[in-house]
A and B are shown apart, each in its own frame.
Chain A
Amino acid sequence: MIPFIQTTLDGLMVGSSYGLLALGFALIFGVMRRLNLSYGPSIMIGAYLGTLLYIKFGPPTYVVAIVAVAGSVMAGIYVERLCFAPLGVGAGVASMVSSFAIWMQLEQASLLMLPRHSYPFPSLTGGELWSLGPFVVRPDYLIMLAAMLAMSAALTLLLYRTRFGLGLRAIVENSLAASLSGIDVERTMLKAFALASAIGGVAGFLVLSANQQVTAMLGMWATLKGLIAMMIGGLGSIPGAIVGGLALGVIEAHSQNLFGPQVRDLAAYAVLFVLLVLRPGGILGTTAVRRGMGQRGGDRWTTT
């Protein structure tokens, strides 16, 4: 029983990083109804800028963190300006493909900065372990879990208690009506995009400092894990992102423990596939989709 609980705990810990990534994804998808494939590569740009600084000058860790977040916000704004703002509301597929083209661009830019496969990244805690009774936890991941909960709380407050949030929710309901009632749709979307990229940047920094290294696979990894966690939890909803991230982490931890690393990813994809077929709205399902940000989540978002 104790190993089982330990594995579940490990899964929840790793899952909190997926939850963080999914949070940013859910914000963009919830507001724009469009898929930003460049989400991961934007995080990668920030992380690589931070790493470059760290390797060259060895600044304190918080400076690296600031650079990583600022870098991914900059990259995110670039993506929004180039792939989302100029294309009309109807051009969902074009935006997605365009963000894919920019993915290639951002990834190559990162690799030009740092050509090796992996580099060291500063750790927040020195990678020590804490034991709680019979269980072992890593403080890195506890920070991540706390960051995820704090950020989702802050995001909920922002959405439901501020003017900006009201505007955002109005756009989600009906962007035409929102613009008619005096909301600057384009600016609000840009702000939401920047916010989502900042969340992604924080997620990226925390994950890398827990791993103490950064690899060239970061962009692809962040996009895929964030997307999968969002889909498992429920489209475009904040609690969905958290539940999805944690669920993905637990599934992965258990299947890795039982069958090894290759089957881990296989199990995650299999669960995702079965879940989508049986319950297309994700774990938090149709109610969440109907009520929250993902109102038209089940509809076609791309064609026309």
Chain B
Amino acid sequence: MDDHLIGIVSNIGVISFVALSAYLLLLTGEISFGQQAFFAIGAYTSGIVTAMWQLPFALGLGAGAATGAAAALLVGLPTLRLHGLQFAIATLAFAEAVRILFELFRYQIVRDGELVGPNGIEGFRNIRYIFENDVSATEFMLIIYGLLGATLFGLFLLERSRLGTAFRMIGEDDLLAATQGVAVVPVKLTAACLAGTIAGLGGGLYAHLTTYVEPAIFDVMLGVHSLAYGLIGGLGTAFGPLLGVVIDIGLLESTRWFAGYRMIVFGGLVAVLLIVRPRGLLDEQLVHRIRRAVRRRPRPSPANDTVLGKELS
């Protein structure tokens, strides 16, 4: 693979974290325009840990994920009783406020005769961990995909667990879920924290991948994009948002020959796709059908036969 391709594939991996984070909240029926804030918090935190405090990379990533989770908890406490548009705009307000705070945030130390650290609107340059420690681009891509794989695996376990079922129940109807004994607020808070953790982790990876971050990267565009990924790829499974990212970045790269018309072509394609499949390519129905096809074939149990027989007769 050449460097450019590695760069694109790494980008797809990192952006997938934000998409998964937005997807997790979509499962509980809430739309967040603000997941980019946790991504930003993770990016700045892990950059500070490795580039300024000179601590190991793993610690930086862990700190990024932890601050992402903590911030999500803080925001989740007051906002999670809001619904729909009000929740969406509250998260938007929070995320934009965070972006502006990073524009005002200055914290620099001298290293190698040069200032390092977040410098307001100029951003945070020289997060040079991968160069200082000779991590090649391919190695870093493998780290990203290792973490992404682990996160996906965690999400799959989650979706099979009681907690995951509770997420989807609340997403369908929170009042009904509450009458079924689901503790709505704690479960939603858990979802928000997990989403914050995932976004924070992704942010840490992003900072080290690009070696610089600046507040402008984390504006509303990124947040709405990450929501769109879930919708394009499908809300039926955690692979959906991933597919969305691959389609978006893949399509953008492949429609490069449209040059100046790229966004016109791409925007139109997405709009048409959503008319055909309003819940994305891998929507719940398709996922369910695939699961059944996979599961049913090996062992048609006698009990099932009788039930089916009764229904047919």
Which A positions have Cβ atoms within 8 angstroms of B?
Answer: 29, 35, 37, 82-83, 86-88, 91, 93-98, 100-109, 112, 220, 224, 227-228, 231, 235, 262-263, 265-266, 269-270, 272-273, 276-277, 280, 297-304
Contacts and interface: CB of A to CB of B under 8 A. Distances in A.
Contact of B267 (A95, A103, A270): A103
A68 to B, nearest CB: 21
B193 to A, nearest CB: 18
5 contacts: A86-B275, A105-B271, A220-B220, A265-B96, A266-B104
A104 to B, nearest CB: 4
B270 A98 contact: yes
Given A272-B93, A276-B82, A97 B228 contact: yes
B95 to A, nearest CB: 9
A107 B172 contact: no
B49 to A, nearest CB: 26
Contacts of A276: 79, 82, 86, 89-90, 93
Contact of B101 (A104, A105, A224, A266): A266
Interface of B: 26, 29, 31, 78-79, 82-86, 88-90, 93-94, 96-97, 100-101, 103-104, 171-172, 220, 224, 227-228, 231-232, 260-264, 266-271, 274-275, 278-279
Closest 8 CB pairs of A and B: A105-B267, A101-B270, A108-B263, A94-B278, A91-B278, A273-B93, A269-B97, A300-B84
A276 B103 CA distance: 24
Given A97-B228, A273-B94, 19 more contacts: A83-B274, A93-B31, A94-B231, A97-B224, A97-B227, A101-B228, A105-B267, A108-B267, A112-B260, A224-B220, A235-B85, A265-B100, A266-B97, A269-B100, A272-B93, A276-B89, A297-B85, A300-B83, A300-B84
Nearest to A278: B78
B286 to A, nearest CB: 15
B274 A108 contact: no
B278 A302 contact: no
A250 to B, nearest CB: 18
A199 B210 CA distance: 43
Given A262-B103, A303-B29, A231 B89 contact: yes
A109 B228 CA distance: 21
A136 B31 CA distance: 44
A299 B83 contact: yes
A270 B92 CA distance: 11
A273 B97 contact: yes
Contact of B275 (A87, A103, A263, A301): A87
B84 A301 contact: yes
A269 B93 contact: yes
Contacts of B271: 82-83, 98, 101-102, 105
Given A224-B220, A273-B90, A277-B78, A94 B279 contact: yes
B84 A302 contact: yes
Contacts of B29: 300, 303
Nearest to A236: B85
B85 A93 contact: no
B236 to A, nearest CB: 14
